[in-house]
Structure 1
Amino acid sequence: MNFFNAESYIYVKFFISLFTIINPIGLIPVFIYLTNSQTSSERNSTNIRANFTALIILLFSLFYGYRILNFFNISIDSFRIAGGILVAMFAFSMMNGTLLQNRVQIKSKNVSSNINNQSTSYKKEDISIIPLAMPFIAGPGAISSVILWRMQYSNLYNLIGFSVVILFFSFFCCLTFKIAPYITSIVDDIYIRIINRIMGLLLLSVAIEFIFNSIKTIIFSYI
């Protein structure tokens, strides 16, 4: 019990990292847009499937992502720098307000393509798993971040703690999408954009920390 009290800040930082990268608040307009034609029960089902799938993806990345890196002989510090750069790119997109716009544009193209091909029905699973679960929720940034945290804190207690945080975050994300229609009815779009930019700034700080620590480790290894 004392261990978790002493290390609780790690899990708080991990949760904040997931929150800033995935940004469920910023995904509310996307979720509403994708499920606009669904009934309330269908929207709830889509919400549960999407977050459960994202949960499985993130847990798999937590336990097996580093093994994939070892298979390709990729060092921890190299992956931290690459992951930090990737996360930083997400952060810049969030601060510029282009990430959400690109997400909606990509989905609009897919919807237009399906409308032109009316002989093929658009399956609900395609919405919940692709693109909601991946890449919107468990995207490259989130997967990279999970692997980075796992490699930095790799003992059994941390793995259990990270798993609990991912589970809690999935529940939080599911609850956020559940109340999304109510949020959009009382919160103006401009406030969501402001939140996106603030989250982008926090995310950029996390990315810089990953890159700086990795470069520092490489430099000191040659001294």
Structure 2
Amino acid sequence: MNFDVVLYVQMAIALFTILDPIGAIPLYLSMTQGQSRIERRRQIRRTVIAVAVILSLSALAGNAILDFFGIDIHVFQTAGGLFLLLIALNMLQAKGPLIKTTPKEQSEAIEKEDVSVVPLAMPLLSGPGAISTVIIFSSSMEGYDAKAVFIGTIVVVALTVWPILTLAKWLGDRIGATGMNIAVRIMGLILASIAVKFILEGVKAYLF
């Protein structure tokens, strides 16, 4: 089996950028305020598993869902690129996640004992942007071997959420709001480039 290692590394960077676990730190800290270290570790573990499962299922079943609704993958790629561009522009302005929770939802999340799946894993981390991206990536892969490696890539990226959330308070104290905003803006720039690439490739493939 010959795999383009660089391609999978690029996919991993793209997924990490879209998940944006650094940008999720403030909400994570507010939602888990008052919980013990053991409870937070349990929540993080469930969040990581949920992110990996959601994105893996999206990668495996995404094409079938598009076929069921009669949506051409290139049209979906263009639409997904536009959506990612909106997220990227939002990140460049350090405005936080584009998919936001209402004050009522945040209040309910804080009161919940378990926020690992909703809203942390979905929609905060593995939201529409991440799901669209894995569907677009998986659609370009042929054969079970390539998809298996891609699923492995998704799991590795999901695992990167673990240390970031585990060290959330430490990172928040050390780099501060300014540092996190800088990191989010850098990831927003990377995401904008990925979004434009998706749009151009989708339009080109659909029209020509």
Shift of 1:123: 3.2
Q: Please state whether the residue corresponding to 1:99 is helix, strand or coil.
A: coil
Q: Is the 8 A contact 2:18 2:130 kept in 1?
A: yes
Q: Is the 8 A contact 2:97 2:124 kept in 1?
A: no
| Cα 1:101/1:62, change in 2 over 3 Å | closer
Q: Which of 110, 116, 121 in structure 1 is aligned with 2:105?
A: 110
2:82 aligned partner: 85
Shift of 1:124: 2.1
Rg comparison, structure with higher value: 1
Total equivalences in the alignment: 208
Q: Is the 8 A contact 1:94 1:199 kept in 2?
A: yes
* Structure 1: stretches of 5+ with no match in the other structure: 116-121
| Cα 1:28/1:131, change in 2 over 3 Å | same
1:187 aligned partner: 175
Mapped partners of 1:35, 1:23: distance in 2: 18
2:158 is the alignment partner of 1:161:
no
Q: Is the 8 A contact 1:81 1:214 kept in 2?
A: yes
1:196 aligned partner: 184
1:34 aligned partner: 31
1:25 aligned partner: 22
* Structure 2: stretches of 5+ with no match in the other structure: none
State the one-letter code of the partner of 1:25: I
1:55 aligned partner: 52
Q: Please state whether the residue corresponding to 1:73 is helix, strand or coil.
A: coil
Q: Provide TM-score, normalisation by structure 2.
A: 0.93
1:175 aligned partner: 163
State the one-letter code of the partner of 1:124: E
| Cα 1:98/1:190, change in 2 over 3 Å | same
State the one-letter code of the partner of 1:153: M
1:128 aligned partner: 116
Q: Please state whether the residue corresponding to 2:76 is helix, strand or coil.
A: helix
Shift of 1:89: 0.9
Q: Please state whether the residue corresponding to 1:124 is helix, strand or coil.
A: coil
State the one-letter code of the partner of 1:88: L
2:1 is the alignment partner of 1:12:
no
| Cα 1:98/1:185, change in 2 over 3 Å | closer
| Cα 1:32/1:112, change in 2 over 3 Å | closer
Mapped partners of 1:210, 1:219: distance in 2: 14
Deviation per CA, 1:3-38: give whole Å up to 9, x if none.
Answer: 13xx10111111111111111122122211211121
Mapped partners of 2:93, 2:131: distance in 1: 22
Q: Is the 8 A contact 1:61 1:146 kept in 2?
A: yes
State the one-letter code of the partner of 2:94: G
Q: Percent identity, aligned pairs only? A: 33
Mapped partners of 2:5, 2:109: distance in 1: 47
Q: Is the 8 A contact 1:90 1:99 kept in 2?
A: no
The equivalences for 1:66-81 within 5 A come to 66-81=63-78
Q: Which of 136, 140, 147 in structure 2 is aligned with 1:148?
A: 136
Q: Is the 8 A contact 1:95 1:198 kept in 2?
A: yes
